[in-house]
A and B are shown apart, each in its own frame.
Chain A
Amino acid sequence: AQKITQTQPGMFVQEKEAVTLDCTYDTSDPSYGLFWYKQPSSGEMIFLIYQGSYDQQNATEGRYSLNFQKARKSANLVISASQLGDSAMYFCAMRERNQAGTALIFGKGTTLSVSS
């Protein structure tokens, strides 16, 4: 079974609009971390946002917020006020046991295209 599922291979949004990128996860570990990374066409992996399984509030980082619904095992990324520079591949990832040295398990990614 997939540990991380991203069901949207591609998303299209206009500048200044908000967009939600979906991510569901599967784990039986009570302690885990959820991450979103951005990969522009240049190829590097850019960390965006993190949510711990015990965190009471949804994580926010500037225009990025993580809609964490623990019971549904979903960790959707919301990008507000999209910009052209947001066009990239977005990966959701999970770290079980949520401790250093543990692997990040990535989803297949969602390609976001922002148009003017």
Chain B
Amino acid sequence: EPEVTQTPSHQVTQMGQEVILRCVPISNHLYFYWYRQILGQKVEFLVSFYNNEISEKSEIFDDQFSVERPDGSNFTLKIRSTKLEDSAMYFCASSEDYLAYEQYFGPGTRLTVT
């Protein structure tokens, strides 16, 4: 069964460093998303992406964040200058088309900022 994959599974970085989290959505999906979950808290929406542009973003998704689909398969989230409070699990998700309701989540990348 097709699935969303994410790499790495765990990333440790120092405050102020740039990180890139990578996702490979399901191949025929058109809509892509990033969410984050601070340990023990609820899942929060960051951004959605369609047709090579951001379709919606939350207040969390400030200028420190950017997303890109550099080729036909990868979808990346970049954090330019990490802060301690960026430590969280980051989930990538994808959905098939306009009519699809299910968002398929990847296994997540745990980001630890020290």
Using CB atoms and an 8 Å cutoff, list the residues of chain A in contact with chain B. 33, 35, 37, 43-47, 50, 52, 91, 93, 95, 98-109
Contacts and interface: CB of A to CB of B under 8 A. Distances in A.
A43 B107 contact: yes
The 4 closest A-B pairs by CB, nearest first: A103-B45, A45-B105, A101-B55, A106-B43
Interface string B56-76: 101000000000000000000
A100 B31 contact: yes
5 contacts: A44-B106, A99-B98, A103-B48, A103-B56, A109-B42
B53 to A, nearest CB: 10
Given A43-B110, A91-B42, 7 more contacts: A43-B108, A45-B43, A47-B102, A47-B105, A52-B101, A93-B43, A102-B48
A106 B106 CA distance: 17
A43 B9 CA distance: 11
B56 A101 contact: yes
A98 B98 CA distance: 10
Interface residues of B, number: 31
Contacts of A46: 105
Contacts of B100: 100
Contacts of A102: 48, 56
A95 B33 CA distance: 13
B4 to A, nearest CB: 10
Contacts of B31: 100-101
A97 to B, nearest CB: 10
Nearest to B49: A101
Interface string B23-62: 0000000110101000001111100101000011010000
A93 B42 CA distance: 10
B45 A105 contact: yes
A87 B48 CA distance: 30
B103 interface: yes
A43 B47 CA distance: 20
Contacts of B48: 101-103
